[in-house]
Structure formats: structure tokens, C-alpha cells
Structure 1
Amino acid sequence: MHIPPYHKKESWQRFFVGALIGAVIAYCIVMYMYGSMYEKLFAEILDLQDKVTELKNHNDALLKAKEDLDTPITVEKIEVDIVNDKELQLDNDTLMKQQLEGLIKKEIDHIVGQDVTIVSESDKLLESTIENKEISIDEFTYSFTVTKLAIITKTVIIEVKGEVSN
């Protein structure tokens, strides 16, 4: 039995080349869609992990406050804001910004549940804790300086200015 030599005909060659190019384009489209979906899910997971950590700290603080009903106002929440995120090119990269804010919160999460007056007295210690920590993510090392530290209410608000060092 003889197989016809379709590979020599120009019309079949065009068909095979078109099918190959179509397969490459379809593969690129599928990889782009998968990557963007994975990035959205990863951002959602990071956000939910931050919320779970925050709620656990809040729950621990409330349980401790319930045990000691005579305790004064305690710190319940920490908010971190990176002031110069556009200079660090983090305004488009929300994942990196969330990771940096989460690592800064993790560094000082021991203040959740403590008395506000004790935390306000040790504000210099908080500042030096944040400023002396260098955070490495994706081959970049970030160092931060505290520009604003507000400990008036149950929420501690910290504004930091970041710098990238090699």
C-alpha cells in the first residue's frame, strides 16, 4: 500500500503551517488566561490570610480583655500604609504591596492586645523595629522609615516610606 505524498503539495504545506501557528497562538492565549487567573487567586489568598491573621489577633485580644475586665483600652488592629508606592513601582503590583505590608504587620503584631498607653510610651522602639528590618522579596531588599505613627485609638496607623537597596 502506498501513502500519498501530501507533504510535497503546496496546499497541504500551507495547511500544516497554519495548524502549527494556530496551535502556538492558542497555547499562548491559554497560558495568559491561566497566569492572570492564578495571579488573581494568589492576591485573594494573600488578602484572606491577612484577614485571618488580623481576626485571630483580634480574637486573642478580646479574650484577654475579657479575662481582665479592668484593663484599659487595648490595641486591636494595625494598619500599615506605604506612602511612596509609586516611586517603588508598587502601585501596579498589589501582590508585592500586600506582602510588604503583611511582613511589616507580622514584625510588630506583638502589640495587638497590649495597653494603648504602653504602646504609645514605646513608640520609638516600634519605629526602630520597623526601620532596622530589611525585607527581601523577589531579589529586591526593602528598608522602611516611619513617617507617621498614630496610637491614639484602638487602631495603630503606621505610614512608612520605603527604599530599595541592592
Structure 2
Amino acid sequence: MRIPPLYRRPAWQRFIAGVVIGGCISWIIFLFMFGVLQEKQAKKIKSQTEIINNLEQDKKIWQEDYKELNRKNAELLIIQKVQVKIKNYEKYKIDHLSIMEAENRIKDDLSSLIAKDLYNTYKNKDLVYKTIENRIDKFNNRPYKYTIKNIVFYSTISIELEIKLS
């Protein structure tokens, strides 16, 4: 086998030269178009990366704020203090010192509620009622019972009591 002698025909030589030159030109055009498209894609990816980074920073800020709000709400949902106020003690002529001591004793009895969950404490409010209303204190050698007139459950439990002879 031998190679046909096409080098002697100028038409074939022009055709092959045209194919080679056309291939080179088309390859250069392809590389140019591919480069331009890749540059656009690189710019788009860079801008999207910047947007993603900004959004991730915003997300971190929101999460920190959310955690802070949750912590503050958790503090609001925990009982932090108990206030007791006894009314109508003037009616029975009981001195202020005895009333303050009685208020402090009731606060001590209810001190186990401090740092407890507000929801569960409210659910078990009957226990608070029974703890206070079953209590009998003596003032001026007379036994007195308490009745709850008003009780407010919040981060501070406020209890208003009235006394009466038992």
C-alpha cells in the first residue's frame, strides 16, 4: 500500500490546507467563546459566594438574637420571687411586726417555688392554695387562718391574703 500522490493535485492541497486553517480558526473561536462563558460563570459564582457569605453572617446574627430572646423568655417563665401581702389585719388589731413575721414565714414555705417552671407551678396551684389556707398562725394568743383573695402567677408570684379567726 502506498499513499496516493495527492501532493501533485493543487485542488486537494487547497482543500486540505482549508480544512487545517478552518480547524485552527474554529478552534480559536471555540476557545474564545468558551473563555468568555467561563469568565461569566466565574463572576457569577464569585457574586453568589459573596451573597451566601453575607446571608450566613445574617443567619448567625439572627440565631444569636434568637438564642438571647429564648434565654430572656426562659427567665420570664421561671419564678424568681414570691411576694405575700396580708390585708385586713387592722380589723383584728394585730401589730405590724407580727404580720411581717407571718408574711416571711409564708414566703419561706413557698420558697421552694423559686426557680421553678411557671407553667407547672400554675398547674399545681391547688398545692399553693392548700399550703396557705391550711396554715394556722397565732397572733395575740388567738388562732387565725388565711384566705387567698388574689394570686398572680408571673415571674413574681404575688399573693394577697386575708386573715380570719379560725
**What is the letter of the counterpart of residue 158 of structure 2?**
I
Q: Distance in 2 between matches of 1:71 and 1:154?
A: 10
- The residue number in structure 2 matching 1:158 is 159
- With over 3 angstroms needed to count, the CA separation of the structure-2 counterparts of 1:113 and 1:98, relative to structure 1, is same
What is the Cα deviation at residue 137 of structure 1?
A: 4.3
**What is the letter of the counterpart of residue 139 of structure 1?**
N
Question: Unmatched 5+ residue regions in structure 1?
Answer: 1-68
Q: Distance in 1 between matches of 2:163 and 2:104?
A: 14
- The residue number in structure 2 matching 1:101 is 103
Q: Please provide the CA RMSD for this pair.
A: 2.0
Give the number of equivalent residue pairs: 94
1:95-144 Cα offsets, whole Å, 9 max, x none, are 11111111111221110110111111111210111001112345232210
- The residue number in structure 2 matching 1:44 is none
- The residue number in structure 2 matching 1:83 is 87
TM-score (norm 2): 0.51
Taking every aligned residue pair, what percent have the same amino acid on both sides? 22
- The residue number in structure 1 matching 2:143 is 141
- The residue number in structure 1 matching 2:125 is 123
Question: Unmatched 5+ residue regions in structure 2?
Answer: 1-70
1:41-87 Cα offsets, whole Å, 9 max, x none, are xxxxxxxxxxxxxxxxxxxxxxxxxxxx6993211111111121221
Q: Distance in 1 between matches of 2:111 and 2:78?
A: 13
Q: Distance in 2 between matches of 1:131 and 1:115?
A: 23
Structure having the higher helix fraction is 2
TM-score (norm 1): 0.51
Q: Distance in 2 between matches of 1:129 and 1:70?
A: 30
Which has more radius of gyration? 2
